[in-house]
């Protein structure tokens, strides 16, 4: 995109100055220096909600008119917005409900909570809170589970549309092994999914995901119908869970005795393809991983959830060896934080237990461009490249006294990023921009204090 054309008046530009980081490739286990562009004093130039240019301030300032306003972020870090590839908005209010592993946790906390989403007003209220919380945490795109109720999907998409967010979401399909009040039928789920695709998929920045909860709660007939829809609408996403917990896997074996593996239950219905995201993927064998890699389906690595529910440890080295794509995701409410920084910190710890090194560069890649690649959206989001949508965040590396102190004593970019993901959380997200517009600004504690002098 050209900076100066007769058709684009200077007033449509917005210019941000600060430290600028954007990835161009997967840094791999050791953080390849060829995988990113970093400008210690950089400029991000936005025209009409899209990235126009990015580079060193020294070179780019000379190209701008002298009276061009510039937002100077000083030593703050400008980064493409985080992409959370697996999260449940109706589980916002079950976060931090503990004491159970997956199957009991669903029965005890999640299903009763999801029942409330038959009510459109409740769904709308939670959707608003949820999206506020994502933006407060610097997450600008997410792959989102709704509930079995159409009202939950309508509420979510309406709220995301009003904010002009790039979001992927879908109605849960669940026609067995679940409470009466949350069960659909294969034909009802099929009809609702088709109608919701026609209504929402491709509207503004919204995309639809065919969303069977997981193999145990769908009949083979429902999965077959989901596969048929997936073939008819190749640009629609598929979103489900896979190989999260040992008891779950035993249950799948009983329910689908002829399937080669849990993955095969989905695969034989045509549900393993590009634009399919499977959360967890902890207990896959090499054949499953190779099949994931070859098909273009991707895994959402949910370290906080996997620790919180005691599910197990995802192996990034096994995924790498098989050529399987993956990104990092929170899985709220099994996950215990909306913050991708905190989730990256948990990813680091899971990788330590597996003796799998994960560099800080790679953790940030997996939470930005890596997520966009899993969604097939790398030409639109996750990277500062001309023409990309200007969803970005400003990170404060001095947000807390400890973060400021430890940042000051770190020298390389890798080190600073490791400090940020280890010590940072929502307090480090100073601001969030959607299509170049400021949509969240952190209120510093001292600004929030009443001014007693007046």
Q: CB-wise, 88 or 440, nearer to Zn ion?
A: 88
Which one, 281 or 395, has the nearer CB to Zn ion? 281
Applying the rule CB under 5 A, the residues between 71 and 130 that interact with Zn ion are none
CB of 107 to Zn ion, least distance (A): 15
Among 331, 356, 391, 425, binds Zn ion (CB under 5 A): 331
Question: How far, in Å, are 33, 56, 184, 235 from residue 219 at the CA level?
Answer: 48, 56, 11, 24
Phi first, then psi, for residue 31 (nearest 5°) are: 80, 65
Kindly state the smallest distance separating residue 173's Cβ from Zn ion, in Å.
Answer: 14
Output the residue with the shortest Cβ distance to Zn ion: 331
In the complex, minimum distance from the CB of residue 240 to Zn ion, in angstroms, rounded to a whole number: 9
User: Shortest distance, CB of residue 443 to Zn ion, whole angstroms?
Assistant: 31
- The position carrying tokens 């280890």 is 422
Going by DSSP bridges, is the β-strand pair 429-434/13-23 parallel, antiparallel, or unpaired? unpaired
Please tell me the total number of residues recorded for the chain in this structure: 454
User: Between residues 331 and 378, which has the closer beta carbon with respect to Zn ion?
Assistant: 331
CB of 336 to Zn ion, least distance (A): 13
Q: Binding segment for Zn ion among 214-222, 323-331, 393-401, 412-420 (CB under 5 A)?
A: 323-331
Binding mask 257-296 for Zn ion (x = CB under 5 A): ----------------------x-----------------
Q: Could you tell me which residues come within 8 angstroms of residue 329 by beta carbon, excluding any fewer than 6 positions away?
A: 84, 85, 86, 87, 143, 279, 300, 301, 302, 335, 343, 371
Binding to Zn ion (CB under 5 A): which residues in 373-432?
Answer: none
- Residue (202 or 310) nearer to Zn ion, CB: 310
Binding range to Zn ion, per CB under 5 A, among 62-70, 329-337, 394-402, 431-439: 329-337
Q: Does residue number 248 form part of the binding site for Zn ion (CB under 5 A)?
A: no
Q: Kindly determine how many residues on this chain lie close enough to bind Zn ion according to the rule CB under 5 A.
A: 2
Q: How far is the CB of 47 from Zn ion (least distance, A)?
A: 38
Closest CB 147 distance from Zn ion, rounded Å: 12
Measured from the CB atom, is 331 or 430 closer to Zn ion? Answer: 331
Nearest to 231 by CA among 269, 201, 175, 259: 269
CB of 244 to Zn ion, least distance (A): 8
Stretch that binds Zn ion, among 117-125, 325-333, 393-401, 422-430 (CB under 5 A): 325-333
Q: Which stretch binds Zn ion (CB under 5 A): 160-168, 306-314, 328-336, 377-385?
A: 328-336
> Interface with Zn ion by CB under 5 A: which residues?
279, 331
């Amino acid at each position: 995109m050209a900076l100066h054309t007769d058709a684009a008046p200077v007033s449509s530009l917005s210019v941000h100055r600060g430290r600028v980081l954007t990835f161009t490739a997967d840094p791999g286990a050791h953080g390849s220096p060829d995988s990113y562009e970093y400008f210690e004093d950089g400029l991000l130039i936005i025209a009409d909600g899209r990235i126009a240019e990015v580079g060193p301030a020294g070179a780019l300032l000379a190209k701008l008119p002298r009276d061009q306003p510039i937002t100077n972020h000083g030593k703050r870090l400008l980064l493409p917005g985080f992409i959370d590839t697996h999260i449940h908005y109706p589980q916002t209010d079950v976060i931090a409900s503990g004491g159970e592993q997956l199957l009991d946790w669903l029965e005890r906390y999640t299903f009763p909570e999801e029942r409330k989403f038959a009510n459109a007003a409740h769904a709308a209220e939670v959707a608003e809170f949820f999206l506020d919380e994502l933006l407060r945490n610097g997450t600008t795109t997410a792959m989102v589970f709704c509930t079995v109720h159409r009202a939950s999907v309508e509420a979510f998409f309406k709220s995301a549309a009003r904010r002009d967010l790039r979001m992927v979401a879908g109605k849960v399909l669940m026609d067995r092994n679940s409470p009466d009040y949350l069960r659909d039928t294969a034909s009802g789920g099929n009809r609702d999914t088709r109608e919701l695709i026609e209504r929402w998929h491709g509207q503004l920045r919204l995309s639809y995901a065919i969303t069977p909860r997981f193999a145990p709660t769908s009949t083979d007939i429902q999965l077959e119908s989901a596969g048929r829809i997936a073939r008819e609408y190749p640009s629609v996403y598929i979103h489900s869970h896979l190989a999260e917990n040992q008891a779950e896997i035993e249950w799948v074996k009983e329910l689908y005795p002829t399937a080669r593996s849990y993955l095969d239950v989905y695969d034989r219905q045509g549900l393993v393809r590009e634009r399919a995201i499977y959360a967890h993927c902890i207990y896959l064998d090499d054949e499953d991983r190779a099949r994931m890699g070859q098909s273009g389906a991707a895994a959402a690595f949910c370290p906080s959830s996997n620790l919180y529910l005691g599910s197990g440890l995802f192996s990034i080295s096994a995924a790498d060896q098989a050529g399987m794509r993956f990104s990092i995701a929170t899985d709220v409410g099994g996950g215990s934080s909306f913050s991708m920084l905190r989730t990256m910190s948990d990813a680091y710890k899971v990788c330590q237990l597996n003796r799998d090194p994960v560099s800080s560069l790679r953790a940030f890649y997996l939470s930005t461009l890596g997520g966009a690649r899993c969604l097939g959206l790398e030409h639109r989001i996750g990277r500062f490249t001309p023409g990309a949508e200007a969803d970005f965040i400003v990170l404060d590396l001095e947000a807390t006294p400890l973060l400021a102190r430890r940042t000051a004593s770190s020298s390389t970019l890798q080190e600073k990023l490791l400090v940020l993901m280890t010590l940072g959380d929502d307090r480090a997200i100073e601001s969030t921009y959607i299509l170049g517009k400021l949509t969240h600004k952190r209120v510093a504690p001292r600004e929030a204090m009443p001014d007693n002098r007046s």
